[in-house]
Amino acid sequence: MINRQWTVAARPQGVPVATDFELRESELTRPGDGEMLIQVLYLSVAPVMAMYMSGESIAQRPPLALGDVIHGRGVGRVLVSRHQDFEAGDIVHGQMGWQTYCVTAALPEDRFYRYSATDLPAHLALGALGMTGYSAYCGFVDVGEPRAGRPVLVSGAAGGVGHMVVQIAKNLGCAPVVGIAGGPEKCAFLQELGCDAALDYRRDDLEAQIRAACPDGVDLYFDNVGGEVLDAALENLAFGARIVLCGSIAEYNLDEPRGPANYTRLRRHDASMRGFYVYNHEAGFAAAERAMADWIRAGTLRPVQQITDGFEQLPAALMGLYSGANTGKQVVRVHDEGET
Amino acid sequence: MINRQWTVAARPQGVPVATDFELRESELTRPGDGEMLIQVLYLSVAPVMAMYMSGESIAQRPPLALGDVIHGRGVGRVLVSRHQDFEAGDIVHGQMGWQTYCVTAALPEDRFYRYSATDLPAHLALGALGMTGYSAYCGFVDVGEPRAGRPVLVSGAAGGVGHMVVQIAKNLGCAPVVGIAGGPEKCAFLQELGCDAALDYRRDDLEAQIRAACPDGVDLYFDNVGGEVLDAALENLAFGARIVLCGSIAEYNLDEPRGPANYTRLRRHDASMRGFYVYNHEAGFAAAERAMADWIRAGTLRPVQQITDGFEQLPAALMGLYSGANTGKQVVRVHDEGET
């Protein structure tokens, strides 16, 4: 059986370009003891993949060499299982790589999870009901400790994690819930999601926009971008504010990363900046999935997934993240759920 | 009665220079209702005073104009009291300004505190048993949540706050307690204070020095300096580490302040950076003073105060802070405790 794979052709210099990727075909190997053969249904598209391509070692995962298959999470159907926890027919999500079929490696960090919300579409395992949703829920709720009735600010609010965070904040009664995104279309999307205010970072003076939306200061800022947006948030903290650092896409591709120049604002307001790495919060995944699935079924959380069709579209979808074109969680459909 | 006062002659451009200060004499006014006349015994010397001179508004205190008396905390003897909480003869500490006598203003933020540890020298009210000590104790203990047996790192460890933090850490059983300072003399001073390791930031590769002293990472970093020292600490965090932001002298006088370029390290380690402003922790002052005074009496905490004699030496003492010449808390003696 032929497997198609996207590999690292060259190290991205900043934002990845088409010539950094190479499509390859290879013969599938058979799964060994403890392994599975998985038909990949959907693959996730996220900035961390460009970091892997650049040769960064993340989460104990060894750096990618030139020619290696690009890392990426996927959801798929188990075709053959020699793994004691799974059987053929299961829908699972985990690290699959940019390929159409996956023979699971036995790396301990490459843990797979059975998708349990089978009444809901499988691609949600790459969104609200998988790592993206766990990042939103565990980061916002467990790390950020939101308070009902208090102002919440979210950057990258139209993105995969961000658009869930604003909806979680609304479900928990935070007020106002203020989203930041780029451009009028994304801001309209934020209004649709229920944001009390949608701020466009491309317009002048984000700092003043935040102040107008949260005149008493921000109680909890969920940061997906870093850079100047983080600076502007730091100028608008309420006493005891928390900043949750989830992502920093504004800084991934800088040669010389910059820190928040005004981080000393944390002192004046007894505020804190809290980093978190979702894989450290595995104990909270089940509760996160339960809460998110319940809100989806109740209609109070609407996961937005942009599904691009076709395995060959993966590089374009990744490059699109940096153009600011994406809304919601980006996934690529590799096989139809009905196809074998 | 003649009062001598140091005033702002010019706005400091970066580190203050002698021509930024002007000595003036004026006639003392009589204290009105709710006011006191205080004979100033000692004045504190700290970097925040240069920030006031630069025209910054700090802690709701209006910015200093040219010609104004420079702000500064002092300890003194009440000569005349028309304030219901104090009487003549009390030793009090609070905002007195750079002058030999002080008629207290009725500003609510200019709260005065009676010095209660009368068995110990009065100048400790500007050190271990005043705001400096409260900063060390409330910041390290209440905000930092130190854990016995876990590694603590302190920058500016030979300074007014820092040299108390390392001793508090030893008293609480943190291990190792690692101090950072500039030059072999200060490092020798840190060893005398009981530091398990003393790192010289002027030597190459502070990051590697920290790694050698705390091979399993730093559990609690108390930051008095910011800048490259903070960067180096961020590279050496243990899981769940806390960074307490107390000061950032490396950044006070930069035209373009820089943030910690690698602040995203907080994410990998589920670490947090916690700002604090001592005046927000007034509820903890009494406990701090009690704990510190008990350790001083027991001989397990040794406050080091550099006392410079003479009111006219104030500008030189402030400028000396930036040359890295100071060890312990800097105070200037204005009047002998016995003199009237």
Residue whose C-alpha is closest to residue A86's, from A125, A30, A43, A31? A31
Query: What is the arithmetic mean of pLDDT over A174-181?
Result: 98
Cα separation, B161 vs B329, in Å, equals: 7
Residues 270-289 of B with CB under 8 A from A: 270-277, 280
Say whether pLDDT at B257 is over 80. Answer: no
Nearest to B275 among A251, A269, A276 (CB): A269
Contact assignment for B226 to A280 by CB distance below 8 Å: no
Contact assignment for B272 to A273 by CB distance below 8 Å: yes
Cα separation, B47 vs B63, in Å, equals: 15
For the ranges A145-159, B61-75, B286-300, which has the lowest average pLDDT? Answer: B61-75
Which chain B residues have a beta carbon less than 8 Å from that of A246?
267
Q: Do domains B2-127+303-333 and B131-279 have the same CATH topology?
A: no
Cα separation, A70 vs A53, in Å, equals: 7
In tens, the pLDDT along A254-269 reads: 556 678 888 989 998 9
CA angle A254, A259, A263 (to 5 degrees): 160
Contact assignment for A264 to B248 by CB distance below 8 Å: yes
Say whether pLDDT at A115 is over 80. Answer: yes
Say whether pLDDT at B326 is over 70. Answer: no
Which chain B residues have a beta carbon less than 8 Å from that of A257?
261-262, 264
The answer to whether A40 and A52 have CB atoms below 8 angstroms apart is no
Say whether pLDDT at B63 is over 80. Answer: yes
Q: Cβ of B118 under 8 Å from any chain A Cβ?
A: no
Q: Cβ of A48 under 8 Å from any chain B Cβ?
A: no
Amino acid at B60: Q
| pLDDT: which is higher, A173 or A160 | A173
Contact assignment for A280 to B260 by CB distance below 8 Å: no
Residue whose C-alpha is closest to residue B53's, from B68, B73, B75? B68
Most confident of A1-10, B53-62, B247-256: A1-10
Query: What is the arithmetic mean of pLDDT over B114-121?
Result: 88
In tens, the pLDDT along B17-48 reads: 999 999 999 999 999 998 999 999 999 998 88
Which chain A residues have a beta carbon less than 8 Å from that of B252?
none
Say whether pLDDT at A253 is over 60. Answer: no
Nearest to B276 among A246, A267, A275 (CB): A267
Q: Distance (Å) from the C-alpha of residue A163 to the closest C-alpha of chain B?
A: 20
Contact assignment for B245 to A268 by CB distance below 8 Å: no
Give the pLDDT of residue B303: 92
Contact assignment for A280 to B239 by CB distance below 8 Å: yes
The answer to whether B114 and B138 have CB atoms below 8 angstroms apart is no
Q: Distance (Å) from the C-alpha of residue A79 to the closest C-alpha of chain B?
A: 35
Q: Cβ of B261 under 8 Å from any chain A Cβ?
A: yes
Which chain B residues have a beta carbon less than 8 Å from that of A226?
264
> Which residue is listed with tokens 């100028």?
A235
B9: helix, strand or coil:
coil
Contact assignment for A267 to B275 by CB distance below 8 Å: yes
Amino acid at B210: I
Say whether pLDDT at B198 is over 80. Answer: yes
Q: Cβ of A57 under 8 Å from any chain B Cβ?
A: no
Interface test with A, best of B48, B220, B245 (most A CBs within 10 A): B245
Cα separation, B150 vs B77, in Å, equals: 43
Nearest to A245 among B143, B266, B276 (CB): B266
Query: What is the arithmetic mean of pLDDT over B267-277?
Result: 94
Q: Distance (Å) from the C-alpha of residue B9 to the closest C-alpha of chain A?
A: 28
**φ and ψ of B102, to 5 deg:** -140, 125
For the ranges A16-30, A37-51, A104-118, A318-332, which has the lowest average pLDDT? Answer: A104-118
Give the pLDDT of residue B82: 93
Which chain A residues have a beta carbon less than 8 Å from that of B257?
261-262, 264
Q: Cβ of B60 under 8 Å from any chain A Cβ?
A: no
Give the pLDDT of residue B327: 73
Give the pLDDT of residue A51: 86
Cα separation, B63 vs A337, in Å, equals: 66
| pLDDT: which is higher, B24 or A104 | B24
Counted across chains A and B, CB pairs separated by less than 8 A come out at 96
Residue whose C-alpha is closest to residue B17's, from B29, B28, B8? B8
Domain B131-279 grouped into CATH 3.40.50.720: yes
DSSP A321: H
Q: Which two tokens stand for residue A248?
A: 């920093």
Q: Cβ of B323 under 8 Å from any chain A Cβ?
A: no
The answer to whether A160 and A46 have CB atoms below 8 angstroms apart is yes
Contact assignment for B262 to A264 by CB distance below 8 Å: no
Give the CATH number of domain A2-127+303-333.
3.90.180.10
Q: Which two tokens stand for residue A30?
A: 């058979």
Say whether pLDDT at B251 is over 70. Answer: no
Give the residue on A whose Cα is nearest the Cα of B231: A259
Q: What residue ranges do the domains of chain A occupy?
A: 2-127+303-333, 131-279
Residue B304 has, within 13 A of its CA and on its CB side, a CA count of 19
Amino acid at B20: D
Sequence length of chain A is: 340
Ramachandran area for residue B156 (φ above 0: left; ψ -120 to 50: alpha; else beta): left
Contact assignment for B272 to A271 by CB distance below 8 Å: no
Angle between helices A162-171 and A285-298 (to 10 degrees): 70
The answer to whether A253 and A227 have CB atoms below 8 angstroms apart is no
DSSP B104-163: ----TT---EE---TTS-GGGGGTTTSHHHHHHHIIIIIIT---TTS-EEESSTTBTTHH
CA angle A46, A48, A51 (to 5 degrees): 135
The answer to whether B160 and B45 have CB atoms below 8 angstroms apart is no
Contact assignment for B275 to A280 by CB distance below 8 Å: no
Ramachandran area for residue B27 (φ above 0: left; ψ -120 to 50: alpha; else beta): beta
Q: Cβ of B106 under 8 Å from any chain A Cβ?
A: no
Q: Cβ of B239 under 8 Å from any chain A Cβ?
A: yes
Cα separation, A194 vs A167, in Å, equals: 7
Q: Distance (Å) from the C-alpha of residue A215 to the closest C-alpha of chain B?
A: 18
Q: Which two tokens stand for residue A182?
A: 């780029």
For the ranges A94-98, B71-75, B165-169, B327-331, which has the lowest average pLDDT? Answer: B327-331
Contact assignment for B261 to A266 by CB distance below 8 Å: no
Give the residue on A whose Cα is nearest the Cα of B60: A268
Cα separation, B333 vs B314, in Å, equals: 9
Give the pLDDT of residue A47: 82
Of the pLDDT bands very low, low, confident and very high (cuts 50, 70, 90), residue A61 is confident
Contact assignment for B274 to A266 by CB distance below 8 Å: yes
% of residues, chain B, pLDDT over 70: 93
Torsion of CA B54, B59, B64, B70, to 10 degrees: -90
Cα A226 to chain center, whole Å? Answer: 15
Cα separation, B194 vs B167, in Å, equals: 7
CA angle B327, B331, B129 (to 5 degrees): 90
Residue whose C-alpha is closest to residue B127's, from B43, B187, B244? B43
> Which residue is listed with tokens 């990258």?
A156
